[in-house]
Amino acid sequence: MESDVTSSISDHRLVPEGRSPFELRVNNGIDVPENEIRSSIASGDLGFLHSFTTGSTVDGPGVRVVAWTTLCMFRCRYCHNPDTWTLSNGTPVTIGSAVEQLRKYAVGLKVMNGGFTLSGGEPLMQSRFAARLFAAAKDLGIHTAIETNGFYGDKLSDRELSDIDLVILDMKAFHPEQHKRVTAGIDNKPVIEFCQRLAALHRPMWFRYVLVPGLTDDDEEIQRVAEFAESLGVVQRAEVLPFHQMGRYKWEKLGLDYTLSQTAPPSSAAIARATGIFCATGLNVT
Ligand code: SF4
């Protein structure tokens, strides 16, 4: 049940559908009082979404509706959506209105063997909202997926994890120092532990690895990531995503220090080499 206060300020808000998450969005939630943000985040009554997109075929199996949350503290150097880092850049929506939007797509998603994906930002930084949204999606009979950096996996109980049909883990690095180098100095122990917990629970996973020349293209590190993914025994698919510059304008508009402004996308040979490392472990690579 939503609080009266939350309902009164937010029922009229619908998250605007985006052509893609690459649209820059800022300050959509700055008029929400701080105390309300805190209580709503704690209860999951309210979530902050950057946007939602329909018709995605790359964020899980089949055709997907994707909701993009705001808030992330990883600050990856290659992030193409830095406007999702700040909660107040998102549009505040009640859990009720989010579920209603999802309900509109339920039949179509089932017909197209698709589903609902919660991405971000880091969705589990709004873990109560995420858990309630996934539970509602399962009640609607919709396949569910989360795209996560894995750091806050311990915020979901085993029961709540059972409402998520697929965890798409954006793996930044396996070596702790490399993980700190790619992110804002973040330790990856919680990420590793979350992966191992998912494996113990036999929860299906996809692994994603962004290939950035000069930052994440070391063969030994790729090998470590691939071997770790394979060792889990639940990774159904691994993907090597080539770095691109589609998010550069966001870094510039937001006045952030973008260290990769001169970095070119990886060559097709480099992509093939990285993909080959994953393949050699026996993983299904796409
Ligand atoms: S975890 Fe994702 S959203 Fe967060 S900074 Fe990294 S790439 Fe961006």
The answer, yes or no, to whether the previous bond of 121 is cis (omega within 30 of 0) is yes
Q: Quick one: pLDDT at residue 4?
A: 38
Atom of ligand 1 nearest to the CA of 120: 3
79 lines ligand 1 (CB under 6 A): yes
Residues of the chain with pLDDT under 70: 1-25, 30
| CB 52 within 8 Å of CB 100 | no
CA distance 151 to 2: 28
Q: Quick one: pLDDT at residue 279?
A: 98
Ligand 1 mean position, distance from CA 76 (Å):
5
C-alpha 207: how far from its chain's center? 12
84 lines ligand 1 (CB under 6 A): yes
Hunting for tokens 């260290």 — which residue is that? 259
74 lines ligand 1 (CB under 6 A): yes
Q: Quick one: pLDDT at residue 88?
A: 86
Q: SS3 for 81?
A: coil
Q: Which of 50, 66, 69, 74 to mutate to test the pocket of ligand 1 (most atoms within 8 A of CB)?
A: 74
CA distance 264 to 217: 13
Q: What global pTM score does this model have?
A: 0.92
149 lines ligand 1 (CB under 6 A): yes
Q: Quick one: pLDDT at residue 16?
A: 57
Q: Quick one: pLDDT at residue 18?
A: 60
| CB 166 within 8 Å of CB 216 | no
Q: Which residues fall within 8 angstroms of residue 215, CB to CB, at 6 or more apart? A: 77, 78, 181, 182, 243, 260, 263
Task: Give which of 43, 37, 57 is closest to 113, Cα–Cα.
Answer: 57
CA distance 264 to 21: 21
What is the rounded radius of gyration, in angstroms, for the C-alpha atoms of the chain?
Answer: 18
Q: Which of 83, 146, 170, 211 to mutate to test the pocket of ligand 1 (most atoms within 8 A of CB)?
A: 170
C-alpha 149: how far from its chain's center? 7
End-to-end CA distance of the chain: 42
Q: Whose CA is nearest to atom 6 of ligand 1?
A: 76
Q: Quick one: pLDDT at residue 210?
A: 98
